[in-house]
Copies of this chain bind each other. A is one copy, B any other.
Amino acid sequence: MSTDCLQELENALGRAAIVRDEDRAQYDVDWRGHLHGRSLAVVCPSRVEDVGETIRIAKRHQVSVVPQGGNTGLAGGATPDSTGGQLVLCTRRLNRIRGIDLLGNFITVDAGCILQNVQDAALSHDRLFPLSLAAQGSCTIGGNLATNAGGNAVLRYGNMRELCVGIEAVDAHGRLIGDLKCLRKNNTGYSLRDLLIGSEGTLGIITGAALRLFPRPFAHATALVKCANIEHALQLLGVLRAHCADFLSGVEWMSNGSLSNVSTQFPDTRMPPGFDESCLCLVELSGSTPPGLLDDILASALDQAIASGFAADAALASSLAERDAFWTLRERLPLAEARCRSLKHDVSLPAGNMGEFVAHLEGYLSSMTERCAWAGFGHLGDGNLHANVLIPDAMPNALCDRIDEFVYGEVLRLGGSISAEHGIGSRKNNLLHQALDVASLQAMQAVKNALDPHNLFNPGKLLFN
């Protein structure tokens, strides 16, 4: 049965489009190496029509399909199960920039385009595509849409949902749905676009997208700010919002735990004098303004934050090299963490409850006999914490589960979200039942059944079936 399916796929798409045997190993495991699946084969269509053909063939053979872009996901959404019966549909050969509308400020791309290539295409026309995240050199636009990716510039430009005006996708019958109209306002029926965004490949296969572009800001002001704790950092954010709102493009928070891990893992890391052993905020303004203006505005706001006691000290980047050094510090946080054993928790919280959450978690960790270290960081301006915990190599899984339970329990108790920007995938779908009420879950399940009646698309991800 499955051999017939592969033969049909090979006949339809060509031999080169099907990856079998050992060659598919890289597709069968997530990039952190935590989740190991086993696919029937990997299909790599190079044309949108071939995605439709793949789905029609898969449907006929009752073989389910796991879409995969850059395979950089953190929630297991792109890894096949271990049955050997699922097809991985790799979109990486769908990688054309279809067009740029410079008058309207839109770019239309294939879903398999790598994020950085889209950023570069925009820059080559003096435009900004603002989505920016650690995996941008390998993650794809389709995956960014499927998880509603966030990253470093959401505060100013919004997450992937807000950057996308049109989606083209293949439905459960192998037909195209949606549209790629380059329009800022388009209200014609239910927003299939917004239904597909964040659906993690469970409702259809995204093949193309129309995305917004922005003027490229040519001025920046960047500072590293020392804050006593996350509550002070939130007050700092309030001062920045009041004084720099037109330009505020990033407020990244780094706990002292996350920073000392960077110093341990990257001994060449240099901090401004006196900035060790503290929480820091990386603050950035950007705009199309006369030289010096942003530095003046930021310096004045930081003076006020220091005078109010919300910031202990601040270092304004005085050169491009210094700005790069500040951002390198931020970028090294996940890289340093990847060299350790850690528990990742991508959560968001109401601003007013963040301090309580961090204090409770630190208290809980210090009460454990194992040496677990709080190493949180995150996009403070969006209320998004990566509430990560470094754990000993030998810690038993049951203890890991207890920390996870504590974190998600606190997040829900404090009105937060168990999934901010990484998705639900196969790692969090058991939590979805705690996070949502029965009626909302049933509504989601009804939508899933309506659009994917044969459960063809990424079963077992996001929802349970």
Contact = CB atoms under 8 A, between A and B. Distances in A.
Looking at A150, A287, A446, A451, which has the most chain B CB atoms within 10 Å of its CB? A446
A405 interface: no
Contact of A173 (B350, B439, B450): B439
Contact of A178 (B195, B382, B440): B440
A53 interface: no
Interface in A432-450: 432, 435-437, 439-441, 443-444, 446-450
B104 A350 contact: yes
Interface string A280-302: 00000001110000000000000
A231 B446 CA distance: 47
A383 B182 CA distance: 10
A188 interface: yes
A349 B104 CA distance: 10
Looking at A148, A179, A185, A422, which has the most chain B CB atoms within 10 Å of its CB? A185
Contact of A444 (B192, B247, B419): B192
A156 B137 CA distance: 29
Contact of A214 (B178, B245, B415): B245
A243 interface: yes
B444 A190 contact: yes
Given A191-B198, A246-B247, A288-B245, A352 B184 contact: no
Interface string A209-240: 00000110100000000000000001000100
A349 B183 contact: yes
B440 A179 contact: yes
A154 interface: yes
Contacts of A421: 185, 187
A456 B252 CA distance: 47
Contact of A177 (B104, B443, B450): B443
Contacts of A382: 184-185
A179 B191 CA distance: 19
Nearest to A240: B215
Given A101-B351, A238-B103, A440-B178, A384 B246 contact: no
A223 to B, nearest CB: 18
B440 A446 contact: no
A171 interface: yes
A383 B416 contact: no
Interface in A54-95: none
A46 interface: no
A417 interface: yes
A384 B186 CA distance: 9
A423 B351 contact: no
Contacts of A463: 189
A197 interface: yes
B177 A440 contact: yes
Nearest to A384: B185
Given A150-B185, A188-B436, A287 B103 contact: no
Contacts of A246: 217, 246-247, 287-289
Given A189-B432, A241-B215, A449 B450 contact: yes
Nearest to A382: B184
B184 A439 contact: no
A181 to B, nearest CB: 6
A420 B187 contact: yes
Given A104-B350, A181-B350, A184-B381, 13 more contacts: A148-B187, A183-B383, A183-B417, A186-B419, A189-B432, A189-B441, A189-B463, A190-B203, A194-B197, A195-B447, A244-B288, A447-B447, A447-B450
